[in-house]
Structure 1
Amino acid sequence: MNKSQWQIVLTLVFVIGIILTACSGGARTLEGDTRDAVLAYAEPMADTLLNGLFAGDYTAFATDFDEAMRKGLDEKAFTDLRQTLESRLGAFQSREVSSVLESGNYYIVVYRLRFEKDDAVTMRLVLTKTEPHLVSGLWFDSPELRKR
């Protein structure tokens, strides 16, 4: 396994750990004004990230990443992610917020993404609670992506 593959694995382990924490009893669903306040900065970050991803622009994609995300999801991993999404899911069509969670020092915004070949893709965007809010985790999941 080369260095970039290890970086992808380490990033995924980190993100999965956060998600498992979010799925445990420690996470709580945010509603009302608190949810809206998180979405006020999360939505523009998601726009920048997704626009950069689908335009093939790593700089835009990683604009709001914290240092660990920049190291774990470098340009090579970005290219691999983009190719995987495009080849397995087709063209991106839309997104909607599914839920907003709070877990420890993080907010997790769960999106439902629709693609040409799969309309049930989940994207989890993990953000730091402290300012400046930064992306510290990112995970895509769908039955199509889990196929070998």
Structure 2
Amino acid sequence: MLSACSSGARTLAGSEKDAVLAYAEPMTTTLLDGLLAGDYTAFATDFDESMRKGLDEKAFADLRSTLETHLGAFQSREINAVLESGNYFIVVYRLRFEKDDNVTMRLVLTKTEPHLVSGLWFDSKELRKR
């Protein structure tokens, strides 16, 4: 749950950014809705094979528990940046929770279709305290 480094990444803007967000935003909604509902199947809908292996149902339950315990209730999200790095796009979100209104979530997506989630990190001052 540590923040991923995105050195060497290129920030996307305009139509390039919009094109990525056209599929990234629905994927993010499904992922967060599944996380909040405790529904692993929904949460992992768009995961690639390595994500399914690395973030299985037990890891999902642990992640959910950690977020609830240390951050409280989810409140909102906003897009901070859309980046391109090698074979991936990275969407950086700012999430607001009850106990921390500055949580960074990095969603890493494959460039090739079908676009799949191949990385997910959460970072915040509250999570680093644990």
Both proteins in one fold, TM over 0.5: yes
Q: What's the TM-score once normalised by structure 2's chain length?
A: 0.97
Structure 2: gaps spanning 5 or more residues: none
Higher relative contact order (CA 8 A, sep 6+): 2
The answer to whether residue 82 in structure 2 is matched with residue 85 in structure 1 is no
Identity within the alignment, %: 81
Establish whether residue 38 from structure 1 lines up as the match of residue 20 from structure 2.
Answer: yes
> Is residue 96 of structure 1 aligned with residue 78 of structure 2?
yes
- Tell whether 2:35 aligns with 1:57: no
Q: Is residue 110 from structure 1 mapped to residue 92 from structure 2 by the alignment?
A: yes
Distance 2:14 2:115 in 1: 20
Shift in Å at residue 66 of structure 1?
0.1
Aligned letter for 1:141? D
2:107 aligns with one of 113, 125, 130: 125
User: Structure 1 residue 57: deviation in Å?
Assistant: 0.1
Pairwise CA distance, 1:33: 0.1
CA distance in 1: counterparts of 2:26 and 2:122, whole angstroms: 18
How far did residue 119 of structure 1 move? 0.1
Matches within 5 A, 1:60-79: 60-79=42-61
Count of matched residue positions in the alignment of Structure 1 and Structure 2: 130
Q: Write 1 or 2 for the structure with the bigger share of helix.
A: 1
What TM-score, normalized by structure 1, do the two folds share?
0.85
Q: Summarize deviations over 1:92-115 as a string: whole Å, max 9, x none.
A: 000000000000000000000000
In the TM superposition, residue 81 of structure 1 has moved relative to its aligned partner by 0.1
Gaps of 5+ in 1: 1-11
Counterpart code for 1:47: T
* RMSD value, Cα: 1.2
Provide the C-alpha distance between the structure 2 equivalents of 1:105 and 1:121, rounded to a whole number of angstroms.
25
CA distance in 2, matches of 1:129, 1:96: 22
Q: Match of 1:49, SS?
A: helix
Report what 1:138 is aligned to. Answer: 120
